[in-house]
């Protein structure tokens, strides 16, 4: 517990806990009342760390807290590889497009709210307002410490370790792009280069010698970036990618459909049913041995039966 309390007193740890609290609220794990109280306690503790002597106005002290939060956010953003940021931006754009189709009213409301916030005031001013309110009401120091300790004891969300998809590669399955991301221009998550293009394909009417000459610097640059990394791949004539560092491109919908047809072939059409001859008297199939009328009997047997019937009629009369 002493180690937990020590960790909770650092600015970096407090900002990290704040991010966890916001994520928990967005995902529905923290009710709004507890969420507001958590942010207030964190704001007061950050203020105590950054301005231990409490000098300055509430606005000035709140500005320090906001500056630390935004600096941390900027540092995290800079630390993200550009390829990952492009993937996040693509996902955000796809979300807005889907929302505009499925729920136009909500999309329009969110768009207007975002535009209004950007037009009215910057993030620094908007974020400082609730922090100033928290510093003004403060609350008891013991309650704040108890709430901070409770936040630290909560299970923290830890990203799973990056495990390579295969023993001889560096990329993970999470690095694979979807088909929509590929055609949407999201770069390779391994090297950051585009996947599609035409720089490695032979162009129309380009002589083979000219094509090989044009490819030489491309191949050389690739070998310098990936020395002795084994095989490589390209997609649609785009840049060269290393099979060890870069996840392979996704299958197209047409390729998936073709594989599905191979794995689950269409069942053969049923054989046409043979014509069934049925008895005109009883409608039963006229199989071998079926007798329902004298006319169904073979010719010789029918003559004998008809003779017997004649005798029986004569006797009965």
Residues 12 and 114 in one domain: yes
Residues 8 and 148 in one domain: yes
Whether the per-residue pLDDT at 158 is higher than 50: the answer is yes
Residue 158: partners with Cβ closer than 8 Å, 6 or more residues away = none
As given in the structure block, the two tokens for residue 33 are 């009342």
Query: Do residues 30 and 17 lie in contact, with contact meaning Cβ atoms separated by under 8 Å?
Result: no
As given in the structure block, the two tokens for residue 312 are 């029986």
Domain count, the chain: 3
Question: Per the domain annotation, does 12 fall within a domain?
Answer: yes
Residues 44 and 75 in one domain: yes
Q: Looking at beta carbons, which pairs linking 15-18 to residues 24 or more positions away fall under 8 Å?
A: 15/46, 15/68, 15/69, 15/72, 17/42, 17/148, 17/151, 17/152, 18/42, 18/69
Average pLDDT, the chain: 84
Residues 22 and 113 in one domain: yes
Tell me the pLDDT tens digit for each residue of 277-298.
776 666 667 665 666 665 656 6
pLDDT at 1: 39
Whether the per-residue pLDDT at 170 is higher than 90: the answer is yes
pLDDT at 286: 65
Tell me the pLDDT tens digit for each residue of 261-280.
888 877 777 776 666 677 66
pTM score, whole prediction: 0.62
Question: Per the domain annotation, does 281 fall within a domain?
Answer: no
Question: Per the domain annotation, does 244 fall within a domain?
Answer: yes
Question: Per the domain annotation, does 279 fall within a domain?
Answer: no
Tell me the pLDDT tens digit for each residue of 189-228.
999 999 999 899 999 999 999 999 999 999 999 999 999 8
Nearest one of 108, 82, 98, 262 to 180, comparing CA atoms: 98
Which range marks the domain in which residue 27 is found? 2-153
Question: Per the domain annotation, does 228 fall within a domain?
Answer: yes
């Amino acid at each position: 517990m002493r180690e937990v309390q020590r960790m909770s007193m650092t600015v970096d740890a407090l900002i990290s806990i704040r991010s966890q609290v916001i994520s928990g609220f967005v995902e529905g794990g923290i009710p709004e009342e507890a969420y507001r109280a958590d942010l207030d306690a964190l704001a007061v503790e950050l203020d105590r760390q950054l301005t231990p002597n409490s000098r300055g106005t509430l606005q000035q002290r709140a500005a320090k807290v906001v500056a630390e939060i935004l600096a941390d956010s900027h540092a995290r953003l800079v630390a993200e590889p550009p390829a990952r940021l492009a993937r996040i931006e693509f996902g955000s754009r796809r979300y807005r497009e889907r929302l505009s189709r499925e729920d136009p009213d909500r999309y329009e409301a969110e768009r207007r709210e975002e535009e209004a916030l950007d037009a009215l005031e910057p993030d620094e001013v908007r974020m400082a307002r609730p922090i100033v309110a928290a510093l003004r009401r403060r609350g008891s120091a013991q309650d704040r410490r108890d709430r901070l300790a409770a936040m630290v004891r909560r299970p923290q969300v830890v990203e799973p370790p990056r495990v390579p998809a295969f023993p001889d590669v560096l990329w993970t399955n999470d690095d694979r792009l979807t088909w929509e991301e590929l055609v949407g221009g999201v770069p390779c998550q391994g090297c950051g280069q585009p996947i599609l293009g035409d720089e490695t394909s032979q162009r129309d009417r380009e002589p083979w010698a000219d094509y090989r000459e044009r490819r030489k610097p491309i191949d050389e640059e690739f070998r310098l970036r990936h020395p002795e990394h084994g095989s490589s791949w390209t997609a649609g004539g785009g840049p060269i990618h290393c099979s060890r560092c870069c996840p392979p491109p996704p299958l197209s919908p047409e390729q998936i459909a073709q594989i599905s047809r191979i794995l689950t072939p269409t069942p053969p059409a049923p054989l046409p049913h043979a014509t069934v001859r049925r008895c005109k008297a009883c409608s039963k199939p006229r199989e071998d041995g079926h007798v329902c009328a004298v006319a169904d009997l073979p010719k010789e047997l029918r003559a004998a039966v008809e003779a017997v019937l004649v005798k029986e009629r004569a006797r009965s009369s």
